[in-house]
Amino acid sequence: MSQPEICPQVRTSHRLRYNRQPKEKALSNGSRRPVAAGNWKMNLLRRDAEALCQGLCAGLDTELATDIVLFPTATLLATVARQIQGSPIALGGQDLHPDASGAHTGDVSGPQLADAGCGWVLCGHSERRQDHGESDVLIGSKARAATDHGLLPLICVGESRDERRAEQTFAVLRRQLTAALAEKPASFEIAYEPIWAIGTGEVATPELAQRAHAFLRQTLTELVGEERAATTRVLYGGSANPSNVADLIVQRDIDGFLVGGASLDSGKFLDIIGACARHQS
Ligand code: PEP
């Protein structure tokens, strides 16, 4: 039986075709293709996921100048994989175990994610560090396991409110980044997610975010060399929404967004994708 056309390439008046817009800026992040990533966390049932994917697919142009990736709950991976077939949207897991298989009840491995159609995986999201006590060292093992199994890890780092108040932000970011790259994953992207901004509505100012991103890129230069540091995408995450992303994406070291709440609404997520694509075009 042939597959139903689940992500029709329909043309709607809302369709995003930003790749055809004129070039406006030549900032230094113009050379890095932006990423709009949606972290669905532990939300949605299959029917909600289907509707969300259909809303996204209907509004996207296949030639958008932006990478788009969705990180659904493991139970939704098969549903989302079917829905995004033929679209420019990539799929990612929210976590992986460092081992390829074995007696690890409740966990999911890199090969299993790849088998489910994933190309990406989140490593070290602050909710996993907090809720599951994930250590910096474990996150380093996960990042390495990801690339060993053909997945691109999106490594999340970020300070708590107390750490920022204590002026420990840069020390925390350096420690987390150094540990995450200790096992030398073959490739990676970074998400700067200040914990105090996640799910709070309190977005980092563009200046504050840019300072953290520039620090991360400088630290990457020390850890992996200038060339890789210059090409690594550093995404901002923490209450990103359509009303604040335009001011963030023009910062020279901000290369896109890891979006929680706003990615659960196709209109809002399309607006965020549009802001990334407009900046790149
Ligand atoms: C996240 O959890 O990765 C996140 C950025 O969430 P929110 O956008 O809801 O703050």
Give the residue, by CA position, lying nearest to ligand 1 atom 3.
260
The pLDDT value recorded for residue 5 is 39
CA 238 to ligand 1 centroid distance, Å: 5
pLDDT tens for 102-122 read 999 999 999 999 999 999 999
Tell me, using a 6 A CB cutoff, whether residue 259 lines ligand 1.
yes
Q: Which of 94, 193, 241, 271 to mutate to test the pocket of ligand 1 (most atoms within 8 A of CB)?
A: 193
Give distance in angstroms: CA of 260 to centre of ligand 1.
4
Give me the amino acid identity at 131.
D
CATH topology of domain 24-280: TIM Barrel (3.20.20)
Task: List the catalytic residue out of 159, 193, 213, 279.
Answer: 193
Candidates 77, 61, 130, 71; CA nearest to 95 is 71
**Taking each helix axis from N to C terminus, what angle separates 206-224 and 169-180, rounded to the nearest 10 degrees?**
40
- Angstrom distance (rounded) from CA 197 to CA 159: 10
Active site residue 125: yes
pTM: 0.91
Alpha-carbon span 51 to 228, nearest angstrom: 38
Closest ligand 1 atom to 257 CA: 5
Kindly list the distances between the CA atom of residue 140 and the CA atoms of 95, 143, 246, 272, in Å, as whole numbers in the listed order: 13, 5, 32, 30
185 within 8 A of 202, measured Cβ to Cβ? no
Mean pLDDT across the chain, nearest whole number? 91
193 flagged as catalytic: yes
Catalytic residue among 125, 149, 213, 279: 125
The model's pLDDT over 147-202, given as tens digits with 9 standing for 90+, comes to 999 999 999 999 999 999 999 999 999 999 999 999 999 999 999 999 999 999 99
> If DSSP states are collapsed to H, E and C, what string results for 103-115?
CCCCCCEHHHHHH
Quote the pLDDT of residue 28.
57
- Distance, CA 87 to ligand 1 centroid (Å)? 24
Tell me what the mean pLDDT of segment 269-279 comes to.
Answer: 95
Distance in angstroms (rounded) separating the CA atoms of residues 275 and 140: 32
Domain positions in the chain are: 24-280
pLDDT in tens, 13-70: 334 543 333 333 334 566 899 999 999 999 999 999 999 999 999 999 867 899 999 9
Q: Whose CA is nearest to atom 1 of ligand 1?
A: 260
Task: Indicate the length of the chain as a whole number.
Answer: 281
Instruction: Give the pLDDT of residue 280.
Output: 79
Pocket lining: 93 vs ligand 1, CB cutoff 6 Å: no
